A and B are shown apart, each in its own frame.
Chain A
Amino acid sequence: MDLFLHLCVMIIIYIIFAMSLNLEVGYTGLFNFGHIAFFGIGAYTSALLTLQQVPFELSLLIALAMAGIWGFLLSIPSLRLRGDYFGIVTLGFGEIIRMVFQNEVWLTKGPMGLPGIPKPILFSYRFATLPQYLLLTLGFAALTFLILRIILRSPFGRVLRAIREDEVAAEALGKNVFFFRIKSFVIGSLFAGLAGTLWGHYTTFISPGDFTLLETILVLLIVVLGGKGTEWGPVLGAFVLIFFQESLRFLRLPAEWTRYLAPLQQMIFGGLLIVLMIFRPEGLLKEKGRVSNAGN
């Protein structure tokens, strides 16, 4: 039963994480290949603050703000340019942030990691047991889903899609493409920070090794497998992939196999991305009403 609940919590956290990336990759057409950085920033900020006895409500808000601010700072130099540059800058940023977690030992304890992150107390209710935590993540996931749905169905969301399809046309209609992209990226980073925070308080131990390229690939795969630019795509993708990933962990395979199993599993993720892009780039669920497939 605990196993099942654990699986649910992980899936839901990844749903939030994937929804935030879907806003950027799926709806706005931003090539964010370092999404894990914002997940990590959220996790570390909230963990460090709550370990200093700052209340969870405040820590959460500061963690979200930090993720958003870093998203904003990163987007200024890189979003003016075409997608490839943005892709490589975010990819690099993901690595650099991990380097910071590793090197700033005075703050993050470096490779030792941060143990004993307290379970969240929200309005004096402590979410300590698995079912309680499941409730908490479920609440946040529903909130994220609703907020993103409202954003994407608003005129603002339509502009984002217009930019994705044809940047020049959107610009010609008087939309400032640069500012819309920044907004989309900051909102995406914020929700990635939320997912990171929830994850950190769930595992209660974080270290730089948790925020690698693997996580970026995994969340990207969730989005494109489920169907980028769809509301339910990230949900479906997270169910399929996290189930696969976490159940491998509980198969109790001999320890000497992990030397081969871990890279093998990651090879499958990489290979799956390629195969999907070649044979079914739209993923399992197809975005409704999308006709044009051209564009940049």
Chain B
Amino acid sequence: MDFLFQSILNGILAGCIYALFAMGLTLIYGVLNFVNFAHGELIMWGAYFLYFLMGKPFGLPLPIALIPALLLTILLGIGMDRFVFKPLRTANRLTLLIAALGLSFLLRNGAQFLWGAELRTYGFEIKRGLRILGISITLNQVAIILTSIVCIVFVYLLFHRSRLGKSMRAVSDNLELARVVGVDSKHAIQFAWVIASVLAGVSGILLALDTNLQPGMGLINLVKAFAATLLGGVGNIWGALLGGIVIGLAENLGVLVISPGYKDAIAFGIMVLMLLIRPSALLGRQE
């Protein structure tokens, strides 16, 4: 029984992180109407930026290194848009997606070039977790859950209480109409990249704290983020949150029945299943 509860806890934990991936992905999808295949690499680079700042020659402690790491991630996100996606705003979809895939591959190998292909961690010692009701939870894991909640509340306030958030929602609903009523769409797009990058950076760091860093971590997490997005309804931020948690739970409970080697395939399975049984629900937001 304890084992089951432990799996549920781990599932929710992973789910919170996936939810943050998915929220960023769906935000860009909502505003620019395409799947950013390089979103996984944004996550990965966020985690590596922190690794870079904590290692030699900087040696910053985690709380201080966090801020420049996130700033660098934002810079990368804005750079992606400025140099790759902006010149392709009016291009056809195939051109755009191939460029996104190329970007993803470029960034993945960029990380491999700088840090090598081996698994890395932030070098914290593994501490014995607190035991509550027979479930073990480490301080890192508590931090993961708290950070996720903070991010989610922040996104909620931003979208529903701020002018910028409202203009972003307007752009994602209908770009032309938003322009007509005087919303600065360029500003809104740029801001969407900032938020998506922050979410990607934070979630990448949390994931690396919970597991490890590796240049290939972007791609498989892109699939997970997308599966979460599909589950929740594309373009729907709250759906993404729910979808992320469902995927996290399915993965951690799934490995109780199937081989752990397929843990990363579970999200893909859910995605295909969703496409099979509920294709109409996914078509809700067509251009």
- Asked whether, in the complex, the Cβ of A270 is within 8 Å of the Cβ of B272, the reply is no
Q: Which residues of A contact B268 (CB under 8 A)?
A: 92-93, 95-96
A123 at the interface (CB under 8 A from B): no
- Asked whether, in the complex, the Cβ of A277 is within 8 Å of the Cβ of B110, the reply is no
Of B93, B101, B223, the contact of A92 (CB 8 Å cutoff): B223
Would A99 and B265 be within 8 Å (CB), given that A77-B275, A89-B272, A277-B98 are in contact?
Answer: yes
A142 at the interface (CB under 8 A from B): no
- Asked whether, in the complex, the Cβ of A77 is within 8 Å of the Cβ of B106, the reply is no
**10 other A-B residue contacts (CB within 8 Å) besides A88-B271, A103-B261:** A81-B283, A83-B93, A83-B94, A88-B223, A91-B37, A91-B219, A95-B219, A99-B261, A262-B112, A271-B102
Of B35, B105, B113, B262, the contact of A87 (CB 8 Å cutoff): B35
Contacting residues of chain A (105-159) with chain B, CB-CB under 8 angstroms: none
The 10 closest A-B pairs by CB, nearest first: A273-B102, A270-B106, A270-B105, A277-B99, A103-B261, A77-B275, A263-B113, A263-B112, A266-B109, A263-B109
Determine which residue in A82, A93, A267, A274 has the highest number of CB atoms from chain B within 10 A of its CB, and name it.
A274
Of A91, A260, A266, A270, the contact of B223 (CB 8 Å cutoff): A91
B116 at the interface (CB under 8 A from A): yes
A234 at the interface (CB under 8 A from B): no
Of A76, A103, A220, A272, the contact of B101 (CB 8 Å cutoff): A220
Closest B residue to A212 using CB positions: B216
Determine which residue in A77, A294, A295 has the highest number of CB atoms from chain B within 10 A of its CB, and name it.
A77
A233 at the interface (CB under 8 A from B): no
10 A-B pairs (CB sep. < 8 Å): A81-B279, A88-B226, A95-B223, A214-B105, A260-B113, A262-B112, A270-B105, A273-B101, A274-B103, A278-B87
A213 at the interface (CB under 8 A from B): yes
- Asked whether, in the complex, the Cβ of A273 is within 8 Å of the Cβ of B279, the reply is no
B97 at the interface (CB under 8 A from A): yes
1/0 contact trace for A283-296 toward B, CB 8 Å?
00000000001111
Q: Which residues of A contact B105 (CB under 8 A)?
A: 213-214, 217, 266-267, 269-270, 273
Contacting residues of chain A (1-55) with chain B, CB-CB under 8 angstroms: 25, 29, 31, 33
B276 at the interface (CB under 8 A from A): yes
- Asked whether, in the complex, the Cβ of B94 is within 8 Å of the Cβ of A270, the reply is no
CB A98 to nearest CB in B, in angstroms, measures: 10
How many angstroms between the C-alpha atoms of A85 and B282 in the bound complex? Answer: 10
Q: Which residues of A contact B109 (CB under 8 A)?
A: 263-264, 266-267, 270
Q: Which residues of B contact A83 (CB under 8 A)?
A: 93-94, 97
1/0 contact trace for B27-47 toward A, CB 8 Å?
000000011010000000000
- Asked whether, in the complex, the Cβ of A81 is within 8 Å of the Cβ of B275, the reply is yes
CB A85 to nearest CB in B, in angstroms, measures: 7
CB A219 to nearest CB in B, in angstroms, measures: 12
How many angstroms between the C-alpha atoms of A217 and B98 in the bound complex? Answer: 9
Closest B residue to A76 using CB positions: B276
How many angstroms between the C-alpha atoms of A264 and B106 in the bound complex? Answer: 9
Q: Please list the residues of chain A having a beta carbon within 8 angstroms of any beta carbon in chain B.
A: 25, 29, 31, 33, 76-78, 80-85, 87-89, 91-93, 95-96, 99, 102-103, 213-214, 217, 220, 224, 259-260, 262-264, 266-267, 269-274, 277-278, 281, 293-296
How many angstroms between the C-alpha atoms of A224 and B94 in the bound complex? Answer: 11
CB B16 to nearest CB in A, in angstroms, measures: 22
B132 at the interface (CB under 8 A from A): no
Closest B residue to A265 using CB positions: B109
Closest A residue to B230 using CB positions: A85
Q: Which residues of B contact A89 (CB under 8 A)?
A: 271-272, 275
- Asked whether, in the complex, the Cβ of A270 is within 8 Å of the Cβ of B95, the reply is no
- Asked whether, in the complex, the Cβ of A270 is within 8 Å of the Cβ of B104, the reply is yes
1/0 contact trace for B254-287 toward A, CB 8 Å?
0000010110110010011001100100110010
- Asked whether, in the complex, the Cβ of A88 is within 8 Å of the Cβ of B35, the reply is yes
Closest A residue to B86 using CB positions: A278
Q: Which residues of A contact B96 (CB under 8 A)?
A: 277
B146 at the interface (CB under 8 A from A): no
Closest B residue to A93 using CB positions: B268
- Asked whether, in the complex, the Cβ of A84 is within 8 Å of the Cβ of B93, the reply is yes
- Asked whether, in the complex, the Cβ of A281 is within 8 Å of the Cβ of B91, the reply is yes
How many angstroms between the C-alpha atoms of A80 and B274 in the bound complex? Answer: 12
B65 at the interface (CB under 8 A from A): no
Q: Which residues of A contact B113 (CB under 8 A)?
A: 260, 263-264, 267
CB A210 to nearest CB in B, in angstroms, measures: 16
- Asked whether, in the complex, the Cβ of B94 is within 8 Å of the Cβ of A92, the reply is no
How many angstroms between the C-alpha atoms of A273 and B91 in the bound complex? Answer: 15
- Asked whether, in the complex, the Cβ of B88 is within 8 Å of the Cβ of A84, the reply is no
Q: Which residues of B contact A31 (CB under 8 A)?
A: 93-94, 97
- Asked whether, in the complex, the Cβ of B88 is within 8 Å of the Cβ of A278, the reply is yes
Q: Which residues of A contact B264 (CB under 8 A)?
A: 95, 99
Closest B residue to A216 using CB positions: B101
How many angstroms between the C-alpha atoms of A204 and B93 in the bound complex? Answer: 39
CB B107 to nearest CB in A, in angstroms, measures: 8
Q: Which residues of A contact B110 (CB under 8 A)?
A: 263, 267
CB B235 to nearest CB in A, in angstroms, measures: 12
Would A29 and B94 be within 8 Å (CB), given that A77-B276, A89-B272, A102-B261 are in contact?
Answer: yes
- Asked whether, in the complex, the Cβ of B102 is within 8 Å of the Cβ of A217, the reply is yes
Closest B residue to A274 using CB positions: B102
